[in-house]
A and B are shown apart, each in its own frame.
Chain A
């Protein structure tokens, strides 16, 4: 392992399928114990990246090291040390929760002695103890994801790759799933998680946004939000459209966005522009509630950064 303690490192990692470059000279590094988020829309290259890192698929160019081993030359060493929860994770629907865990314990050759204790602990951890006799096919979507995670953990991997573990899961289960991931993180496991939900970046130690095979932003959630140009004001005017038009023309206003009945206004200096904005609205007789400074949402931060980047490119 190198001195920076990176447990995942890629160099110009590339995967080309016939005409399509799914992953395009990707460089990333993940520190031991981090929750690393790989965010992006469908087709951005998230799954291909994960499959290459899990040594299931070879890159067409470039290289990657995972847990200190080269994915191309030493795939078996890597497979021993990682857990991989695929998007279409295959549980055995006819088997019970307990039988599924036992089955995976067999595959990963977990010894008879450790097995029972470990399975019980994982059931508890995934909050599935009450359901251990239930067939996997009869679990809710959220519970199936938790069982899949428990199966992924049976051989106590150092690094876990999760490909869109929360897609299609209800918000309550999603929150619970992230709480479980946080517990693993506190326990020192490195987590590499892909997701199409921008707001999940907030739960990561570092988050990256992938787009067309490449990472365009990668930083801590706080710093990603800090990269947004300007400061954000929020208000709820009674004449939304008129207020938006008026505000867009005021000095120091960078951007105006509508959210239902709310306006989000990016300004150069919140302290200075707040009274000016208030005065302008009063001047035309528009009433507004709840004018205050707020923080950009993760999605707003990403959009602002993508736009800035494409302006720089042209």
Chain B
């Protein structure tokens, strides 16, 4: 049996000529929150569907909680919880009825179902609202109810596909606090997201692009390893003019306006500071501050994709 919660080796899925997932290899430690990131169409959903045993890989191999996703697909499904993008709740059923439905689907009955329902309702903060129609719940409540439904059978592994899309920031934060609690209790969590800032919540990450993993590791390590160049934040007068001056210098991978400040990206950017100051001064622009700042995960992702694309050409 694999020591890892998920082990994926050279997993590939072709649809005709199209390679949706192209030789993907990664693993997830037990009890970890693993973030699977990438744009729409990068291969995220295809990978999840293979891991859930819903789609047969063209080649390669994977286990989930020690079970082979092809030969033991039934065992995989019994041992995991899955929460899909649209929360898959029945809107014309009440809160309690939705939980009953999922309980039966997962084979949870009688006393245990009553206990688990109580737990799910408490976790979602829905005490006293069991008889309310699900359609009347706002986004954050629905999301927590769907999570409750996905863990009724106490799975050791949870797959969440874009769980926080369209939810307000406070609910999003509350949801992540629940995920941390589950992970502390030993549940392994696989979560896909396209919110790059949210990926910072994960202990381990993989970026998928064009069916391939282009970066993986802990968020902080990815930032150190994968970011080519540093981000310089410039606070100056007339940023609209300054941006043109900086672009003309031709030194930077990227020059972008953030509110009233400018972000310029280049390797060894510290050394360019005097030249930047001079060029801006000559244009009659006064620099207030100029600091190298930590890149965001999105900065890193964009840098990785560009390196990946350039490497192929």
Residues in A lying within 8 Å of B, measured CB to CB: 40-44, 140-141, 168-173, 175, 178-179, 182, 185-186, 196-199, 202-205, 211, 220-222, 236, 241, 258-262, 290, 294-295, 297-299, 302-303, 306-307
Contacts and interface: CB of A to CB of B under 8 A. Distances in A.
Contacts, number: 117
A85 to B, nearest CB: 19
A297 B91 CA distance: 35
What bracket does the count of chain B residues touching chain A fall in?
Answer: 35 or more
Contacts of B166: 41-43, 196
A43 B138 contact: yes
Contact of B220 (A41, A197, A236): A236
B104 to A, nearest CB: 30
Contact of A43 (B139, B180, B293, B301): B139
Nearest to A224: B259
Nearest to B38: A170
Contact of B256 (A179, A197, A262): A179
A42 B139 contact: yes
Contacts of B260: 205, 220, 222
A141 B39 CA distance: 10
Interface string B216-259: 00111000000000000000000010011000000000001111
A290 B294 CA distance: 12
B127 interface: no
B283 interface: no
Interface of B: 33, 38-42, 138-139, 165-173, 180, 184, 194-197, 200-203, 218-220, 240, 243-244, 256-261, 293-294, 296, 298, 301-302, 305-306
A260 B38 CA distance: 18
Most buried by A among B184, B220, B243: B220
Nearest to B168: A41
A299 B294 contact: no
A302 B257 contact: no
B200 A259 contact: yes
Contacts of A185: 240, 257
Nearest to A225: B259
Given A171-B196, A260-B33, A182 B220 contact: no
A265 B39 CA distance: 31
A170 B220 contact: no
Contacts of B244: 186
13 contacts: A43-B138, A170-B40, A171-B196, A171-B302, A203-B257, A205-B259, A211-B168, A220-B259, A259-B200, A260-B203, A260-B220, A299-B197, A303-B173
